[in-house]
Chains A and B, each alone.
Chain A
Amino acid sequence: MKKRILTLLLLGISILSLTACGKNQSGENGEVVVYNWGEYIDPDVITSFEEETGIRVIYDEFETNEIMYPKVEAGASAYDVVCPSDYMIKKMIDNDLLAKLDFEKIPNAKKYIGQQYYDQSREFDPGNEYSIPYCWGTVGILYNKTMVTEPVDSWDILWDETYADNILMQDSVRDAFMVALKRAGASMNSLDETQLQEAKDMLIAQKPLVQAYVIDQVRDKMIGGEAALGVIYSGEAIYTQRENADLEYVIPKEGTNVWIDSWVIPKNAPNRENAEKFIDYMCRPEIALQNFEYITYSTPNEGARELIEDEDIKNSPIAFPDLSQYQNLETFSYLGEEGDALYNELWKEVKSE
């Protein structure tokens, strides 16, 4: 008897879930397949988009650009909207994977996204034809004011022996070389053998002072007071300050990496019109604001920034630095296969030292 009840119950549940599926199977106006970074959107935004447009959103996430690329390239699962970073967009353009955008159909993009972000995008999308900025930020030094009393304004401090064993570096080849190349006054996209050797020697010299090479753990270690200085992405910096008020973020005077993650539409996108609608919706100021408040990564949407009520955040030099004040800001560009191999080789020499 008990068994029968259980079976009936299961049956009931499965029927219910089936009908639920049926209802959402495809929105009245079709669907759009979105491929974005993990935890990079407010889930409520997706729901409100579905309700307003009747387009069903199929949402998929990736962890790194390198994981995303082969999936889009293979075309096995056709995505309509993808959100890669700068250098990866360049690689996708070079390999003819992206469709040119029709800005007429995405009016909000030109209306609300600041011109300076389009200018910055030219480094990887020279004609501003393929990408619309979604989030951006800088890379800088996060330091603990109780441990570092002198002013921090230069990458040099990461080579200061006073802070031996108190420095956290990024455990990724491009970010680590960016720090060294910028310190030496070179381009972070340099392919010049001498400059790269010099940067490598610098990183080797720095290694005894480094406490650890980490990526996501910079955040937790800095909050916990484990280290005095750490190289971090600006979007994370806002979060760490909320958790530990002693932390301060600076953009070094030698310049740094200004990165942009942008919406693009792959060439093989099956639902182009819906993709355009989705991007346009994301560019609405109130939606961009909602996303900004949820993920704390800086928005390039000027309209959204106007809507921010908290003046401290609106004028935060971390979230919205005045880029014209800084020199030598650059964006990563794709180095080609040989360039990548060269960087990896040198990085391995640093790590094995």
Chain B
Amino acid sequence: MNKKTLAFPYVFWAAAFIVIPLCMVFYYGMTDKTGAFTLSNIITIATAEHSKALLLSLELSFVSTVICFILAYPLAMMLTNMHVSTHSFIVLIFILPMWMNFLLRTLAWQTLLEKTGVINNVLAFLHLPALDIINTPGAIILGMVYNFLPFMVLPIYNALCKIDGNVINAARDLGANGIQTFLRITLPLSLPGIISGITMVFIPALTTFVISTLLGGSKILLIGNVIEQEFTQTGNWHLGSGLSIVLMIFIIVNMVVEAVFDREGEGNKL
């Protein structure tokens, strides 16, 4: 009884801010301006400009996720092998920037990368060729990797920490070399963390519109931008909601994959 009472705020929260808005998205997505049922808002994803934006989003977020993984895994391994005081310090360094607003950090990258920005001034001073990356997909990938890297490092690090050192020692005792131990013991055991990290990077990267606006100079239209503009500029909530439903399908697929691999919820504990 007592427990149920305690759960009430959460139930209220979930209903008010998750369930009801979600229902509204579905309602708007499946009706037209007169309120009649239609699937046309969802089907518009097939039009050239929408599908192009969706494919580009998928592509950029895939590349960002791969880069995040390549950067994060060795780092997480190094962290695991470090002395406790050192590794908590490094984890702190990783989390510290997240205390600052995400928009400000992305805006700072804009200032750094601009043609007359900080990086190019330094390069020019050293007589090195200028870096021409702002307003390209490359800058967007950079922004995604920078912003979402901690979300990849931390779950992998958690998963690696949980691996019993004895298991690895046993593998070495039984004659496995370093590579074999890694491929057959460490990697499979850290899989839940990897899957969790992939989800936590891929989904926000897929739905972002701020990074592409700020670092892509609004020249590169991602599916997040399309949806955002339908709500803020065009005022067509029905179309915006319809496209959100399509995006939700991709997110759900991703989460199902995660659930299959991560039955014990290993990697979720941040």
Contact = CB atoms under 8 A, between A and B. Distances in A.
A226 B114 contact: yes
A348 interface: yes
Interface string B203-246: 00000000000000111010001100100011110000000000
Given A348-B49, A348-B226, A352-B53, A213 B219 contact: yes
Interface stretch (A130-138, A204-212, A237-245): A204-212
A211 B229 CA distance: 20
Contacts, number: 50
A232 B238 CA distance: 32
Contacts of B48: 349, 352
Interface string B44-65: 0000111011000000000000
A50 interface: no
A348 to B, nearest CB: 5
A173 B233 contact: yes
A344 B233 contact: yes
Interface residues of A, number: 20
B169 interface: no
B260 to A, nearest CB: 34
A91 to B, nearest CB: 13
Given A226-B115, A352-B49, A212 B221 contact: no
Interface string A206-237: 01001111100000000011100000000000
B74 to A, nearest CB: 35
A214 B217 contact: yes
Chain B residues touching A, range: 20 to 34
Given A352-B52, A352-B53, A211 B135 contact: yes
A226 B50 CA distance: 31
A164 to B, nearest CB: 12
A192 interface: no
B236 to A, nearest CB: 8
A66 interface: yes
Contact of A212 (B49, B52, B219): B219
B116 interface: yes
B235 A212 contact: no
A210 B219 contact: yes
A66 B217 contact: no
Nearest to A212: B217
Contact of B218 (A224, A225, A348, A351): A351
Contacts of A173: 233
B218 A212 contact: yes
A351 B56 CA distance: 13
A188 B33 CA distance: 28
Nearest to B234: A344
Contacts of A352: 48-50, 52-53, 221, 226
B116 A212 contact: no
Interface in B116-146: 116, 135
A213 B219 CA distance: 6
A171 interface: yes
23 contacts: A66-B233, A66-B235, A207-B219, A210-B217, A211-B115, A211-B217, A212-B218, A212-B219, A213-B217, A213-B218, A213-B219, A224-B114, A225-B116, A341-B234, A341-B236, A344-B233, A344-B234, A348-B229, A349-B48, A351-B219, A351-B221, A352-B49, A352-B50
User: What are the 10 tightest A-B residue pairs by CB atom distance, in nearest-first order?
Assistant: A212-B217, A352-B49, A213-B218, A352-B221, A351-B221, A344-B234, A171-B218, A352-B52, A348-B49, A226-B116
